[in-house]
Amino acid sequence: MTTPDTTALRKQIDDLYRSESRRVYASLVRLLNDFDLADEAMHEAFASALENWPGTGIPENPRAWLISTGRFKAIDAIRRQSRWKNLQPAFAARMDDLAAENAIRASAEIEDDRLRLIFTCCHPAIDPDIQVPLTLREVCGLTTEEIARAFLTTKTTMAQRIVRGKAKIREEEIPYEVPSLADLPSRLDAVLAAIYLVFNEGYSASQGKSLLRVDLTAEAIRLGRLLQDLLPDPEVQGLLALMLLHESRREARVSSDGEIILLDQQDRSRWDQKRISEGRELVEQALRSKRFGVYTLQAAISAIHAQSASVAETDWNQIVLLYTFLLQIDPSPVVELNRAAAVAMRDGPEAGLRLIEDILQSGQLENYHLAHSARGELLRRLGKNPEALLAYQRAFELARQEPERRFLEKKIRELQDPK
């Protein structure tokens, strides 16, 4: 054990909370069989660390210490309740059953509590509309507002879905246990969606001072690798490829002072060629299987960008075709928007603008700032500056992420004061 000074120790505990709290929480959910109890126990464990570590030093395995402390804190809390005598036998038996079940399966099937909990949240008894939001909130620690923005809905609506999901688990006594290998494929779609949305929140944060949250993109990729080892399905390969290809551009997407750099202005020499190579190989493997889906198609689009020397030399026709195929198997207004942007690059801004205006008129993306921003850019290219200004102003009103707001402010100033 080490005994750093109090200020340094507090910083180390803060760093541990950011990096380990959700893993500690996931392990406590498995051990305690209760979301709320695990959350309280996790916070009490970190509070205990702040109280005890200045005197004892930091344990060699802080995560194990936090999990053990949290578990004992939870058991002490139950003991203090007046109904402990009635609950104790059932609680103890349940704890033993879960521990035995997980011990048998964990080493052979899922060796990560966080991935285990994602599969648990995606239990088929839970409404599919609730599975992914519940996973993002309880397993990955995203705020309800962040999740609501990812699903293009309101914070209130999303909060209600998450409460319903937790109530379902409690009322039907859905067990927190490792699913057998035979059960994993039936939960795969929801698990992939959860991991990808975690990655997206890290790749382009829905709000806050920074565009990127590297902790989330790294965790999503880590979970993707674990999932690939567990279940080498083509769509798992496709998702991992997609995340690696996107992440390969991370260093080039933001300037040294935190400003957004668009694709056509990025220094492609800063793209991570190792990630690109791995991502492209995974895409090719998934495509050869002929059993791929939406993640592999998106990864194929990203791979075209990754192998192109410039925006002008990009095969936009192939990208439009891939988006068209993607829309056929997974209709989505966001995919429609991305396809419209690709059409604008292939056929000119007027063709893309018609498609974007049709999408906005349908009302599907009326509150999505990127749709208005894309419309503003195409209007600007067509020389329709007054209309472009209104579109950018609407995008600015909707944006919650500070670098994006600064980017839009710059566009607005350029249109208001052209030089």
Q: What is the CATH number of the domain that holds 12?
A: 1.10.1740
The answer to the question of residue 297 being in a domain is no
In this predicted model, which residue has the larger pLDDT, 236 or 101?
236
> pTM of this prediction?
0.79
The answer to the question of residue 283 being in a domain is no
* Dihedral of alpha carbons 296, 250, 408, 262, sign: negative
Per-residue pLDDT of 298-332, as tens digits, reads 999 999 999 999 999 999 999 999 999 999 998 99
Which of 108, 128, 149 is where one domain is finished?
Answer: 108
Confidence at residue 361, expressed as pLDDT on a 0 to 100 scale: 95
The answer to the question of residue 302 being in a domain is no
Per-residue pLDDT of 107-142, as tens digits, reads 434 457 777 788 878 888 888 888 888 988 887 788
**Total domains in the fold of the chain:** 2
The answer to the question of residue 368 being in a domain is yes
Confidence at residue 184, expressed as pLDDT on a 0 to 100 scale: 77
Please tell me the distance from the alpha carbon of residue 342 to that of residue 236, in angstroms, as a whole number.
26
The answer to the question of residue 339 being in a domain is yes
Neighbours of 131 (CB within 10 A): 24
CA angle 94, 22, 165 (to 5 degrees): 60
- Does pLDDT of 276 surpass 90? yes
- Does pLDDT of 197 surpass 60? yes
- pLDDT mean across residues, the chain: 86
Per-residue pLDDT of 282-300, as tens digits, reads 999 999 998 889 999 999 9
CA nearest neighbour of 327 among 317, 313, 337? 337
Which of 52, 85, 108 is where one domain is finished?
Answer: 108
The answer to the question of residue 130 being in a domain is no
Return the minimum-mean-pLDDT range out of 80-84, 173-177, 274-278, 333-337.
80-84
* Those residues with Cβ within 8 angstroms of residue 388's Cβ, 6 or more apart along the chain or in another chain: 376, 377, 379, 380, 415
Confidence at residue 352, expressed as pLDDT on a 0 to 100 scale: 98
Per-residue pLDDT of 17-26, as tens digits, reads 988 888 889 8
Average pLDDT of the segment spanning 58-70: 90
Which of 59, 77, 108 is where one domain is finished?
Answer: 108
User: In this structure, are residues 187 and 119 in contact, taking their beta carbons and an 8 Å threshold?
Assistant: yes
Confidence at residue 103, expressed as pLDDT on a 0 to 100 scale: 47
Range of the domain at 36: 6-108
The answer to the question of residue 166 being in a domain is no
The answer to the question of residue 48 being in a domain is yes
Average pLDDT of the segment spanning 210-227: 85
* Those residues with Cβ within 8 angstroms of residue 387's Cβ, 6 or more apart along the chain or in another chain: 379
Q: What is the CATH number of the domain that holds 337?
A: 1.25.40.10
In this predicted model, which residue has the larger pLDDT, 104 or 80?
80
